[in-house]
C-alpha cells in the first residue's frame, strides 16, 4: 500500500485533506500541554495527563503509521430577519454530528484500502479511528502531517480550507512509506483580529486560551458562575467569532459534504422555539448533531441566559 494510492482512495471517499505522520511521541506538543495544565486552562474535555496525550502507542499499541484527514465544513449564510430574537449555532454543530461523519469517511477509506490488500494478497490492515474520542491531540497530528499551522485563535489553519475543517485520525498496524511533509510556516504574523474579536479576551498572546472566558466552552460547561452566565448573549452552542474575522477564512469554498449542509434559519433558530423544546423535539432536532451530546438541559439554560442578557422580555 502506497501513499499515492491512499490519497486517491481518500478523494474517492469524500475526504478533502489527508496526511501521514510517524507515531513517535508528539513531543513538540508537550511543553504547550504542560503549560496549559499548570495554568489551570484545561477544560476537562481532553482526558488524560499531558504525557498520555502525546503517546500514540498508549491509544493503540500496534500502531505503526498515522493517517490524519480533514473535511471542510464551511458554509456562508445571509443574515436572517429578526436576528435579535434568534440564537446562533456555531459551525461545529451544523448538520450531522461530525464525529459520525468523519468516522464514516475514515471507515470507507480503510475498507477501500483493505479491498486492495485482498486483491493483491496482502495482509488486512488493522486500525483504530479517533475523532475527539481520546486524549490524543488531533491538531498536533494534523500539524505533524503538514495539514496546517497553529493560529492565534487556537485553531489549525490550512491554506485551502482556513480553519473550517474537522480533523480525524487513523492509527494503523502497517508501515506506510510516505514523503515527509513540509510543515507550513505560521501565517498569523502580527495580525491579532481574532484576539480583538473575542468579547471576553479568552485568547492570549503565545497561542493561549483561557476556557472560562471562551463562549464556546461556556455553552458546553454544565455549571456556570454568575460572571460566566452574563457572557452568553448570542451563541446557543459553540462560537465562531474568532474564526469569522480571520483573514485565512475569507472567500472559502463551501463544503461538499452533504451531511453538514443546512440553511440559514437552522443555523439561527428562533429563541422561543428553543425555550419551548420538548424532549421529543430535542431528540429530533438536535439528537444527531454535535451539540446534542450535552443534552436539552444545557441548551435550554443557554437560551434562558441569552434571553436575559439580551433583555428580551415577554
pLDDT in tens, 78-93: 878 777 799 999 999 9
Residue 37: alpha-carbon gap to chain centroid:
20
In a domain, 233, yes or no: yes
Query: What's the whole-number mean pLDDT along residues 17-26?
Result: 97
pLDDT band at residue 33, thresholds of 50, 70 and 90? Answer: confident
Per the domain annotation, does 179 fall within a domain? no
pLDDT of 45 above 80: no
Do 219 and 153 belong together in one domain? no
Least confident of 36-45, 46-55, 118-127: 36-45
* CA–CA gap between residue 73 and residue 255 (Å, rounded): 5
Using the predicted structure, report yes or no on whether residue 63 has a pLDDT greater than 80.
yes
Query: Residue 124: what are its φ and ψ, rounded to 5°?
Result: -65, 140
Contact present, 170 and 94 (Cβ < 8 Å): no
Would the pLDDT of 32 be above 90? no
Residues 155 and 200 in one domain: no
CA distance 74 to 95: 11
Q: Determine contact, residues 99/131, Cβ cutoff 8 Å.
A: yes
Exposed (0-12), middle (13-18) or buried (19+): which is 76, by Cβ within 10 Å?
A: exposed
- Same-domain check for residues 18 and 157: yes
- What per-residue confidence (pLDDT) applies to 44? 64
Mean pLDDT over 103-132 rounds to 96
Average confidence (pLDDT) over 24-44: 82
Q: What predicted TM-score, i.e. pTM, was given to this entire model?
A: 0.94
In the chain, % helix, strand, coil (3-state, to 5) comes to 40, 15, 45
Over the chain, what is the mean pLDDT? 93
| Torsion-angle region of 51 (φ positive above 0: left; ψ -120 to 50: alpha; else: beta) | alpha
**Residue 139, C-alpha cell as written in the block:** 491538531
The percent of residues above 70 in pLDDT, for the chain, comes to 97
Q: Do 167 and 202 sit in the same domain of this protein?
A: no
Task: Please report which confidence band the pLDDT of residue 46 belongs to, taking 50, 70 and 90 as the band edges.
Answer: low
Average pLDDT over residues 183-210: 90
Please state the domain count of the chain.
Answer: 2
Domain contains 106: yes
**Whether the Cβ atoms of residue 216 and residue 235 lie closer than 8 Å to each other:** yes
- Is 132 among the residues known to form the active site? yes
Domain check: are 228 and 167 in the same one?
no
Binned at pLDDT 50, 70 and 90, residue 135 comes out as confident
pLDDT band at 43 (very low <50, low <70, confident <90, very high): low
The domain in which residue 297 lies consists of 193-309
Which one of 16, 62, 97, 132 is the catalytic residue? 132
Q: What is the pLDDT of residues 206-247, one digit of tens each?
A: 778 898 999 999 999 999 999 999 999 999 999 999 999 999
Amino acid at each position: 500500500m502506497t501513499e499515492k494510492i491512499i490519497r486517491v482512495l481518500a478523494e474517492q471517499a469524500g475526504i478533502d485533506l489527508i496526511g501521514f505522520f510517524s507515531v513517535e511521541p508528539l513531543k513538540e506538543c508537550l511543553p504547550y500541554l504542560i503549560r496549559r495544565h499548570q495554568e489551570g486552562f484545561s477544560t476537562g474535555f481532553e482526558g488524560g495527563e499531558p504525557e498520555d496525550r502525546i503517546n500514540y502507542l498508549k491509544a493503540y499499541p500496534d500502531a505503526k503509521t498515522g493517517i490524519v484527514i480533514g473535511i471542510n465544513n464551511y458554509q456562508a449564510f445571509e443574515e436572517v430577519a429578526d436576528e435579535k430574537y434568534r440564537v446562533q449555532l456555531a459551525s461545529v454543530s451544523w448538520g450531522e454530528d461530525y464525529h459520525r461523519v468523519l468516522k464514516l469517511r475514515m471507515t470507507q477509506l480503510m475498507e477501500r484500502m483493505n479491498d486492495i490488500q485482498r486483491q493483491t494478497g496482502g495482509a488486512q490492515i488493522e486500525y483504530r479511528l479517533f475523532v475527539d474520542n481520546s486524549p490524543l491531540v488531533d491538531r498536533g497530528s494534523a500539524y505533524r502531517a503538514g495539514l496546517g499551522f497553529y493560529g492565534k485563535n487556537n485553531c489549525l489553519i490550512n491554506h485551502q480550507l482556513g480553519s473550517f475543517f474537522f480533523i480525524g485520525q487513523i492509527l494503523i498496524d502497517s508501515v506506510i512509506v510516505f514523503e515527509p511533509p513540509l510543515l507550513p510556516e505560521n501565517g498569523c504574523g502580527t495580525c491579532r483580529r481574532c484576539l480583538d474579536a473575542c468579547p471576553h479576551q479568552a485568547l492570549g498572546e503565545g497561542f493561549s486560551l483561557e476556557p472560562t472566558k471562551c463562549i464556546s466552552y461556556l455553552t458546553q460547561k454544565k455549571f456556570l458562575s454568575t460572571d460566566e452566565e452574563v457572557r452568553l448573549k448570542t451563541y446557543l452552542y459553540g462560537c465562531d467569532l474568532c474564526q469569522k474575522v480571520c483573514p485565512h477564512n475569507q472567500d472559502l469554498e463551501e463544503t461538499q459534504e452533504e451531511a453538514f449542509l443546512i440553511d440559514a434559519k437552522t443555523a439561527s433558530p428562533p429563541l422561543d422555539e428553543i425555550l419551548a423544546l420538548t424532549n421529543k423535539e430535542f431528540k429530533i432536532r438536535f439528537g444527531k448533531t454535535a451539540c446534542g451530546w450535552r443534552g436539552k438541559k444545557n441548551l435550554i439554560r443557554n437560551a434562558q441566559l441569552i434571553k436575559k442578557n439580551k433583555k428580551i422580555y415577554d
